[in-house]
Amino acid sequence: MTIIIPRLLLLLAIFASQTEARASQGLQVQLPHGGWLLGRHRTTHSGRHMRAFMGIPYALPPLGELRFRPPIPQPGWEGERLALKDAPICMQRDPFRRDMLIEGSEDCLYLNVYTPDPVEIAGDKLLPVMVWFHGGGWQCGSGISSFYGPDFLLDHNIVLVSANFRLGPLGFLSTETLDCPGNNGLKDQLQVLRWIRDNVAAFGGDPQQVTVFGESAGGASVTYHMLSPQSRGLLHRGIAQSGTYYNPWAQPAHKGVAAKRAAKLTQLVDCDAAGEDWAAKLKCLRSKPAEQIVATLYDMFLWDFDPMIPFPPVIEPQHDDAFLTELPRETSAPPHGQQLPLMLGVTSEEGLLKTAALLNLPQLLSEFKTRFEQLLPVVLNYDHHANETQQQITQHIETFYFKAGHNYNKSNHQNLTDLISDGWFVAGVDEYLQMRLQDKQQSVAPTYVYLFDHKGAASFSELFKGGHNEFYGACHAEELQYLFPIGQELFVSAVPTRQDLQLRELMLRLWVNFASSGDPNPVIGTSNLPSWLPASSYPVTYARLGTKLDLDANNDELVPPLLRMEAALLQHRVDFWRQLKAHLPAHRRSSHQHNEL
């Protein structure tokens, strides 16, 4: 032992000195408030060196009296803080998994920053910043590295920031009064953008070149930040994947709904004894365990897991910290985001998010068919209309999508999937494009539109009860596995095809090019793909990304281009929804009933 102990101490001393040496070469970063962060070294998918700073607090923990209040900026710290691992995810229930698990922590307002190793970057130029806001219906999901990691994107010269923000009732409860005006999850995102403005230069990121990108509710969040005056100047480009604030699940609930759901929550946790006194009810709610608050989410659903998002954004009463005070369709001035370059798109079978379960859970499908007229208004968010109007809408939908009747099944589902795709995603994205491209008050920045239409080795429909051995289409969230290493966790037995790998490299370059310049196209002469042309008028030109053909990997002549320019995105279907909205009775579309189709 007299020989082993000195050798062990010597090895520990050498290791400590090496750790200090590595930190002095870039793993230590000093923030403007004076405190330091110690990050860790990682490598990308291709083996490139990068730095990871994880679990950085951007706001005070929203605990106790800070629950249901806007985030308070993290004031900083003295000395060195370790930033070596992910923070807990925000407390949540995930209805898309169809389980009863409650997971996460209320103390969750943290972000991650990933940068290339400075040694691998030529020169001292600040890098473009890409900020990721995750999807999950503002009720589940996270920004942690085990899911939305930097392994693919950091093969390129960018700074990547991913963040947690409050979800479900903890993030979006609203009394529709100044007691709790709501939108705290979006205000968390706003605080992330303010933190980036103030701190990202310390990591080598350019605070004047910030691209916010997100998928589903994250995509809708991007468009909300392009609308809210609070976010003006904090982002310079946007990428909205499968979501805008015109999607029915993302629109502010019509007047009174948020307050009714808040009242129901107080009843469920025995905080309703105070009558109409919201201050007393909120005091009671702040005394309850966070798990008890989050558990109420499932009690807000009317059928299955619908309406899909019980706690969406809301219109707030006027006050200094308000994020949203006007309906998106009734803004007094054009959104400031009209001046920002935008990339916007959908997958070809978005609706598998819902129909994968319908097709594979026989009891659920039977109930849906039997009670179609009662359930469809709930599923597609038009149950706030008068019964007569609901019946008219349902009849129009049946005539358009189900001419042959309700005979859909696992092998004959396209019309059903198209209906959910259009009602939940495509029509809302199309309306946003109409608004943006038909703006007659000002010139609009370039708008790049895509349709992700690819058959890969694995499909997200598997996660939504679609099974592992059947391909139903390019499901909602399908494109994420080409931007992030999600497949390593979710699809461990899937072997990427050659087309998968080529599409991944293509999409990474498109996304990074857009974040770097506002134009997704590579430098002229460096690619044999057609140029992705911006949409300049409506109907739109768009890029179809991927292929669904089963291809012979050894015969390149059979491989179609993975980017093909086409015109009029799903025009026949979006025209139907445009006409349907136009024919709604005018008195049914008042400002108090604005959660339209």
DSSP category for residue 546: S
Residue 159, classed as helix, strand or coil, is strand
Taking the CB of residue 257, how many other CB atoms lie within 10 A of it?
18
DSSP, res 306: B
The residue type found at 570 is L
- pLDDT for 411 equals 87
Catalogue the active-site residues. Answer: 216, 350, 476
120 C-beta neighbours (distance < 10 Å), count: 10
Do 52 and 114 meet the contact criterion of CB atoms below 8 Å apart?
A: yes
User: What is the sign, positive or negative, of the torsion defined by CA atoms of 243, 485, 413, 137?
Assistant: negative
Backbone angles phi, psi at 264, to 5 degrees: -65, -40
- Supply the pLDDT for residue 22: 43
Helix spans in 384-468 (H): 387-401, 414-421, 427-437
Angle at which helices 184-199 and 217-225 cross, to 10°:
70
Q: Is the dihedral of CA 210, 215, 216, 217 positive or negative?
A: negative
pLDDT at 524: 58
pLDDT at 596: 59
Distance in angstroms (rounded) separating the CA atoms of residues 444 and 232: 16
Tokens of 391: 């019946």
The torsion of the CA quartet 240, 243, 245, 248, rounded to 10 degrees, works out to 170
- Backbone phi, then psi, for 344, in 5-degree steps? -145, 135
CA 570 to chain CA centroid, Å, is 23
Per-residue burial over 516-555, b if 16 or more Cβ lie within 10 Å, else e, is bebebbeeeeeeebeebebbeeebbbbbbbbbbeebeeee
Q: CB–CB of 269/288 below 8 Å?
A: yes
Contact 31, 76 (CB under 8 A): yes
pLDDT at 469: 75
571: helix, strand or coil: helix
Q: At 528, which amino acid appears?
A: N
Residue 466's pLDDT is: 78
**Cα–Cα distance measured from residue 593 to residue 327, given in angstroms and rounded to the nearest whole number:** 11
- Other residues' Cβ atoms within 10 Å of the Cβ of residue 307: 22
- The token pair that represents 127 in the structure block: 């890098």
Which two tokens mark 57? 């607090």
86, 116, 147, 324 from 50: Cα distances, Å? 16, 4, 17, 38
**514 neighbors 448 (Cβ within 8 angstroms):** yes
Q: Which residues in the chain come in under a pLDDT of 50?
A: 1-24, 587-595
The amino acid present at 506, given as its one-letter code, is L
* Domain locations in the chain as residue ranges: 36-340, 348-445+454-472+484-495+523-588
Token pair 């279907």 is at which residue?
A: 573
- Distance, CA of 188 to CA of 390 (rounded, Å): 36
Buried/exposed 338-354: b ≥16 CB within 10 Å, e otherwise: bebbbbbbbbbbbbbbb
Q: Which amino acid is at 414?
A: Q
| Beta strand residue intervals within 262-336, DSSP E | none
- Could you tell me the strand order of the sheet in which 127-133 lies? 40-43, 49-57, 110-116, 159-163, 127-133, 205-215, 237-241, 342-347, 447-452, 541-545, 563-567
CA distance 241 to 261: 28
Phi/psi of residue 431, nearest 5 degrees: -65, -35
Per CATH, the architecture of 36-340 is what?
3-Layer(aba) Sandwich (3.40)
